[in-house]
Structure 1
Amino acid sequence: MCSRLIQFVVLINKDKDLYITDFNSQWTKNNSDLVPEINSLVFVNDSQVSVYSEAVIELSIALHPLLKPIKLGYLIPKKLRDGLYKIIAKNRHKFFKQDACKLANEKFKAMYLN
């Protein structure tokens, strides 16, 4: 959970009902039938499950009112959006170098489902 995306989500989140977890958490094991091999960010809102580029768009919309224009990403064909997502995901360690994991702050602890 050291990714910069997660750190960014915690930093700008304005939704008190938005939580994060990972595939290995006890919460996921007890409450989800998602498979960790999906290799994608997964966004769950009520009963709707979004993956790949759709998950990024839906998460952005939920995170902060100023990110709502990202919904325009739906104008880009899904195949193209998902292809770009997969390229970035596959090469994320080349693009985004991370030296060390930041310590979890109180906001992170409140958002994390374990």
Structure 2
Amino acid sequence: ILIENGRVYQKSTAALHVVKSLPGLWRAASALLIIPRPLRDAVYSVIAKNRYKWFGQKSECTVPDPEIRKRFLS
């Protein structure tokens, strides 16, 4: 979930809005917003379901520094 300028985005829409703020070629991925949301969300769900199998999993969580921590809702 992404809350940006008072708007709430979920699943693939949230991910693509985050990508729009990244530098370089990542921004180009935001063009995928033109694909209908149900199709994007289906692909998002497949990736979410298999992410640990495909990309691995860490045994420890990273503790965010104060600069990053202030970006989280409490």
Pick the TM interval, shorter chain.
0.7 to 0.9
State yes or no: 1:94 paired with 2:53: yes
Measured in 2, the distance between the counterparts of 1:48 and 1:111 equals 16
Aligned counterpart, 2:18:
59
Shift of 1:90: 1.8
TM-score by length of 2: 0.73
Determine which of 18, 24, 34 is the counterpart of 1:75. 34
Shift of 1:82: 0.8
Deviation per CA, 1:18-46, whole angstroms, max 9, x where unpaired?
Answer: xxxxxxxxxxxxxxxxxxxxxxxx11112
Q: Which amino acid aligns with 1:46?
A: N
Runs (4+) of structure 1 exceeding 6 A deviation are: none
Matched residue of 1:72: which SS? helix
Aligned counterpart, 1:113:
73
Please list every run of 5 or more consecutive structure 1 residues that lacks an aligned counterpart in the other structure: 1-41
Shift of 1:105: 1.9
TM-score by length of 1: 0.52
Q: Which amino acid aligns with 2:35?
A: I
Please list every run of 5 or more consecutive structure 2 residues that lacks an aligned counterpart in the other structure: none
Shift of 1:112: 2.3
User: After alignment, is 103-112 or 49-58 more displaced?
Assistant: 103-112
Deviation per CA, 1:35-59, whole angstroms, max 9, x where unpaired?
Answer: xxxxxxx111123211111111111
Percent identity over the alignment is 26
